[in-house]
């Protein structure tokens, strides 16, 4: 027999022990007092009661995760990595922020003794974070407000990171965490074989078809994977939000991609009635806050053309939400709750993330008037302080015209502009997650390198729409170039690059010294560059 809680096991031992004693009493009752027999019988039933309620409590804990609490909190992580060969030089902590609609990507060095340390603000608790190394995999850890977390890591037999100190009261099992990542990979592997059929569908027909397809794809992703009840709900929610964000909401964009080589390419934006499937997703469910895709899905809702939701700007929150609810409430099936508060917060965050524009005094007053001294207000105002700092650096975003030279001479023409400077060239795209992650990580050392005469050059091409590029570069200080398709293809091929992010480092004389694909980490990059300064 297996027990899900220590108390249940202990109480069962008590019951069994006193059952034996009571049987012994029954055989020898002429030697025992009635009062003592009565006492033992009470203990017997007490043990049963403890067992019942302990097991009941354990069952409730594993049914689902506790609803996360939005709060402007901070966590600290002290850790030790057992890596005798010192292969891992840095670790990355990554998690999503449901209020500021962003991802935090923080890199910390692993010292020679294996120790590492993170300290970071968070926006809800509990929160699940990925801690990983770009070459040695990663682990999923849970954090709580104002916690000083101790994390012990080592490399397993296959050379991948693993947790050594697993908490007894962990919200998810280690198997849950491993299978969560496996399910995500299998979800992405799944391919719809009926592309030609889909390309002939009208919007409502497409929505009905994809709603029928969703459980098939999710079943494929979850098949043969074992989860606890809480782990299964966590993984299912992530997959459902992925499907909503990537398949159902972007009707026009998805069909334009899927049906690129078909005759039917004249796809129109659907009207609001197309989105009636939203009610099936129960978007008021607070459990979604745990999921990494949640803020991305919320931004998709805010920017869906059929909803015609304006940026909140300086409109009072109550008034803005009135307009939003007039469109969304019938589609999602409710008109009150935290969902709408987060939607308003995310609209302010779009101003932060797309334009690096701090809040005006009017906006701050509107936030305080609606949210009061609540946690969402605290988080937005805390983030605003960071945006003010970034805005001060925004003047260093320089958009350059691509030199009018042959593609063979293009890189030389770009690098020659920055004489007597070390030049780091970053090939990237707005849709490239690892590219953006690397840019966030390098922020910790970027100003120091710039002060030492390093120039950051960013090159992308038409695979990033001009509109998305114009928005994204506002938060990326440096020299930016938007090159033609043939120029990009030549540059990538001439340096032997097959993917992004890819990098070139030139010394002060314009001589290429390093080239590599995928970000090596702040520590390794600093070593490469400091040799040239």
Final residue of a structural domain among 305, 337, 361: 305
Do 480 and 433 share a structural domain?
yes
The pLDDT, as a whole number, for residue 19 is 37
Q: Are 180 and 167 within one domain?
A: no
CB 294, CB 339: distance < 8 Å: no
Distance CA 267, CA 257 (A): 11
pLDDT in tens, 135-144: 898 999 999 9
Same domain flag for 143 and 182: no
Task: Looking at the structure, tell me whether residues 231 and 263 fall in a common domain.
Answer: yes
More confident position, 258 or 109: 109
Band of pLDDT at residue 263, cut at 50, 70 and 90: low
Instruction: Please state which of the ranges 59-68, 202-211, 282-291 shows the lowest mean pLDDT.
Output: 59-68
Q: Is the pLDDT of residue 465 over 90?
A: no
Sequence-distant (≥ 6) Cβ neighbours of residue 104 within 8 angstroms: 93, 94, 95, 96, 97, 120, 440
Q: Which of 159-163, 167-171, 213-217 has the lowest mean pLDDT?
A: 167-171
Within 10 angstroms of residue 215's Cβ, the number of other Cβ atoms is 11
Q: CA-to-CA distance for 380 and 359, rounded, in angstroms? A: 9
435: its two tokens:
């590219």
Rounded to the nearest 10°, the torsion over CA 504, 507, 508, 510 is: -60
| 250 and 193 both lie in a single domain | yes
Tokens of 109: 């060095």
Q: pLDDT digit string (tens) for 374-393?
A: 999 999 999 999 999 888 76
Peptide bond into 126 cis (omega under 30): yes
Question: For the chain, first and last CA: distance in Å?
Answer: 66
Separation CA 99–CA 162 (nearest Å): 30
Beta strand 161-163 with 148-155 is antiparallel
Residue 19 within any structural domain of the chain: yes
- Residue 3: pLDDT over 50: no
Could you list the residue range(s) of the whole structural domain that residue 197 is in? 174-305
Cα 210 vs. chain centroid, distance in angstroms? Answer: 25
- Find all residues with CB under 8 Å of 341, minimum gap 6, and list them: 371, 376
Q: Which residue has the higher pLDDT, 319 or 48?
A: 319
CATH code for position 498: 3.40.30.10
Backbone angles phi, psi at 132, to 5 degrees: -150, 165
Residue that terminates a domain, selected from 155, 171, 187: 171
pLDDT of amino acid 315: 98
Q: What tokens appear for 371 in the block?
A: 């949210």
Q: Say what the pLDDT of residue 354 is.
A: 83
DSSP 351: H
Q: Please check whether residue 221 lies inside any domain of the structure.
A: yes
15-29, 222-236, 462-476, range with the lowest pLDDT: 15-29
In this prediction, residues 27-43 reach a mean pLDDT of: 43
Residue 109's DSSP bridge partners are 90
The answer on 179 and 157 residing in a single domain is no
What are 329-341's pLDDT values in tens digits?
Answer: 999 999 999 999 9
Looking at the structure, do residues 82 and 155 belong to the same domain, yes or no? yes
Give the DSSP letter of residue 245. I
Decide if 33 is inside a domain. Answer: yes
Please tell me the distance from the alpha carbon of residue 460 to that of residue 439, in angstroms, as a whole number.
14
Asked whether residue 337 falls in the same domain as residue 425, the answer is no
Q: For residue 253, what pLDDT is reported?
A: 86
Q: Is residue 187 located within the same domain as residue 159?
A: no
SS3 assignment, position 244: helix
The answer to whether 270 and 208 are in contact (CB under 8 A) is no
Q: How far apart are CA 171 and CA 159, in angstroms?
A: 26
Residue 261's pLDDT band (boundaries 50, 70, 90)?
A: low
Domain total in the chain: 5
**What residue spans of 2-152 are helical by DSSP H?**
6-27, 34-63
Summarize the confidence of residues 503-518 as an average pLDDT.
94
DSSP per position, 354-423? HH--PPPHHHHHHHHHHHTTSHHHHHHHHHHHHHHHHHHHGGGEEE-PPPSS-TTTHHHHHHTTSTTSEE
Confidence label for 57 from pLDDT (cuts 50, 70 and 90):
very low
Enclosing H/E stretch for 180:
helix 174-189
- Looking at the structure, tell me whether residues 248 and 263 fall in a common domain: yes
Query: Is residue 52 situated within a structural domain?
Result: yes
Task: Return the structure tokens found at 492.
Answer: 């990538």
Looking at the domain assignment, is residue 1 inside a domain? Answer: no
Question: Are both 449 and 335 inside the same structural domain?
Answer: no
Output 429 or 447, whichever has higher pLDDT: 429
CATH number, domain containing residue 138: 2.60.40.1120
Residues 502 and 495 sit within 8 Å (Cβ to Cβ): yes
**Domain end marker among 305, 330, 353:** 305
Nearest residue to 238 (alpha-carbon basis) of 183, 282, 280, 186 = 183
262 and 241 in one domain?
Answer: yes
This prediction has a pTM of: 0.78
Tokens 């993330």 belong to residue: 353
């Amino acid at each position: 027999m297996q027990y899900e809680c220590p108390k249940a096991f202990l109480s069962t031992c008590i019951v069994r022990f006193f059952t034996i004693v009571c049987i012994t009493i029954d055989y020898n009752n002429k030697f025992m007092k009635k009062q003592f027999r009565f006492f033992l019988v009470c203990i017997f039933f007490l043990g049963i009661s403890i067992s019942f309620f302990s097991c009941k409590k354990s069952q409730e804990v594993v049914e689902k995760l506790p609803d996360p609490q939005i709060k402007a909190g901070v966590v600290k992580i002290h850790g030790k990595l057992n890596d005798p060969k010192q292969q891992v030089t840095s670790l990355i902590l990554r998690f999503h922020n449901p209020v500021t609609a962003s991802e935090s990507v923080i890199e910390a060095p692993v010292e020679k003794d294996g120790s590492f340390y993170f300290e970071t603000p968070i926006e809800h608790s509990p929160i699940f974070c990925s801690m990983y190394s770009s070459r040695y995999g990663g682990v999923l850890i849970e954090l709580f407000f104002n916690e000083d977390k101790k994390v012990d890591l080592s490399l397993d037999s296959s050379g991948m990171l693993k947790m050594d100190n697993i908490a007894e009261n962990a919200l998810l099992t280690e198997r849950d965490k491993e299978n969560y990542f496996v399910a995500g990979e299998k979800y992405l592997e799944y391919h719809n074989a009926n592309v030609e059929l889909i390309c002939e569908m009208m919007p409502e027909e497409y929505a009905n078809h994809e709603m029928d397809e969703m459980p098939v794809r999710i079943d494929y992703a979850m098949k043969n994977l074992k989860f606890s009840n809480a782990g299964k709900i966590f993984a299912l929610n992530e997959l459902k939000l992925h499907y909503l964000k990537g398949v159902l909401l972007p009707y026009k964009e998805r069909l334009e991609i899927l049906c690129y080589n078909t005759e039917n390419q004249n796809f129109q934006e659907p009207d609001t009635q197309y989105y009636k499937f939203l009610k099936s997703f129960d978007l008021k469910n607070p459990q979604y806050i745990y999921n990494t895709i949640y803020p991305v899905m919320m931004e998709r809702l805010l920017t869906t053309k059929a909803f015609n939701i304006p940026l909140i700007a300086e409109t009072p929150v109550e008034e803005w939400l009135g307009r939003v609810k007039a469109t969304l409430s019938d589609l999602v099936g409710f008109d009150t709750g935290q969902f709408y508060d987060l939607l308003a917060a995310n609209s302010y965050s779009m101003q932060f993330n797309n334009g690096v524009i701090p809040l005006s005094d009017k906006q701050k007053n509107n936030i305080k008037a609606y949210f009061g001294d609540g946690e969402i207000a605290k988080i937005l105002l805390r983030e605003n302080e960071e945006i003010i700092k970034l805005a001060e650096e925004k003047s260093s975003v320089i958009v350059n015209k691509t030199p009018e030279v042959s593609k063979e001479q293009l890189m030389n023409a770009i690098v020659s502009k920055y004489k007597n400077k070390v030049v780091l060239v970053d090939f990237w795209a707005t849709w490239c997650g690892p590219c953006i992650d690397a840019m966030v990580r390098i922020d910790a050392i970027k100003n120091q390198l710039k002060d030492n005469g390093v120039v950051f050059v960013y090159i992308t091409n038409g695979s990033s729409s001009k509109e998305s590029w114009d928005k994204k570069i506002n938060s990326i200080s440096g020299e930016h170039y938007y090159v033609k398709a043939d120029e990009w293809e030549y540059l990538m091929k001439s340096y032997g690059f097959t993917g992004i992010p890819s990098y070139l480092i030139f010394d002060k004389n314009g001589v290429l010294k390093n080239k590599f694909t995928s970000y090596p980490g702040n520590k390794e990059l600093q070593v490469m560059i400091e040799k040239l300064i």
